[in-house]
Amino acid sequence: MSVLPVTELRPARTQEGSARPSQDDRPALKALPRVRGRQKGLIAAVLALLLAALAAVLVVNIHVANTQYRVVQMQNEHQSLVHENEMLTQQVQHRESPQSLSNAAATLGMVMPAAAGTFDLETSELVNGAEEASSHNRPTNFVSTPAAPGAEAIAPVDISDQVDGAPTGLLGAGALHTLNAFDGGQNGAGVETAESGGAADTGGGTIPAPRLN
């Protein structure tokens, strides 16, 4: 590829010396068309639209960022709730284990049951008589109790914290009071029971016996 000299590229017309077009005939040279009033409005509208879009993007961005932040926060909250729930489930399972139940029963002063009495309802006969449970026959403790979960983590829920919301009477705060007041081992002791309304009613236990009228 070769490059031609610039002179050779000039139009032939000038060299022929033909008359130049007059000044008036020239078209008006302008880089931009003249802005008319209507066009001004259009431009303003476009600019406004641009700004609005920019603002919208900004708002959306801020909103997304905020939401993202909230999502993370809620995820964390969810996770900690899941963990707490898991911990509480573990505590319930631990308390449901036979060893824990047995220990809890022994703490409340319960003993192993003796033979239960049985009636035959059809013949109204006693099939076998009930025996008195021996107060010395406590559950044995050969099977070790598993370690309570979460001893080093969330403190075990103390039911007495929830007394306020609990129903009153023997099923609610009353039961809690009973549990808290007598911490076991009082079979036949009768000291607390005498204070709380007469040993005759309770037969040495903590729950008043039903009365015959």
Partner 1 sequence: MNRILSFRMRIGLAIVLAMLMVLSGRLFHLQGLDPAGYAQEAVSARLHTVEVPGTRGDILDAQNRVMATAVEHYDIVADPRITGDYTIYDEQMDLQRPVTVEETAAELAELLSEDRQEILEKLTDDDTHYSVIARSVTPETRRKIMELQAPGIYAEPVSQRTYPSGAVAGSIIGFMGADGPLEGLERAADDRLSGEPGQRIYEVGADGVRIPTATYEEIPAQDGQDIRLTLNQDLQWFAQEAIAEKTAEYNAQWGNATVADLRTGEILAMADSETVDPAQPGQSDELFRRPLALTQAFEPGSGGKSITFAMALEEGVVEPEDAFDVPDRYTVDGETIQDARPHEEFPMTAAGIYARSYNTGTVMIGNQVDEQTRYEYLRRVGFGEPLDIGMGIEAPSRLRSPEEWDNRQPFTTQFGQGYTGSVLHMVQLYQMIANDGVKKPLSIIDAYIDPDGTEHPVQTEQERIFSSETSEEMLRLMEGVVDYGSGRGAAIEGYRVGGKTGTAQAAGESGGFDGFTVNFIGVAPLDDPQYLVSVTVHRPEGRFGDWDVTDTFSEIMGYTLASYDVPPSGAESESYDGFVGDRQEYPW
Length in residues, the chain: 213
Phi (first) and psi of residue 128, to 5 degrees? -150, 145
For partner 1, give the closer residue by CB, 28 or 116: 116
Dihedral of alpha carbons 89, 90, 92, 93, sign: positive
Q: Does 140 bind partner 1 (CB under 8 A)?
A: yes
Q: Does 132 bind partner 1 (CB under 8 A)?
A: no
Q: Does 104 bind partner 1 (CB under 8 A)?
A: no
Q: Which residue has the tokens 């000299």?
A: 5
Q: Does 9 bind partner 1 (CB under 8 A)?
A: no
x/- mask, partner 1, residues 143-182, rule CB under 8 A, reads xxxxx-xx-xxx----------------------------
Q: Among 187, 185, 206, which residue's Cα sits nearest to residue 195?
A: 206
Query: H/E element holding 127?
Result: strand 125-128
Residues near partner 1 (CB under 8 A): 3, 5-6, 79-80, 82-83, 86-87, 90, 93-94, 96-99, 102, 115-116, 118, 120, 125, 127-128, 139-147, 149-150, 152-154
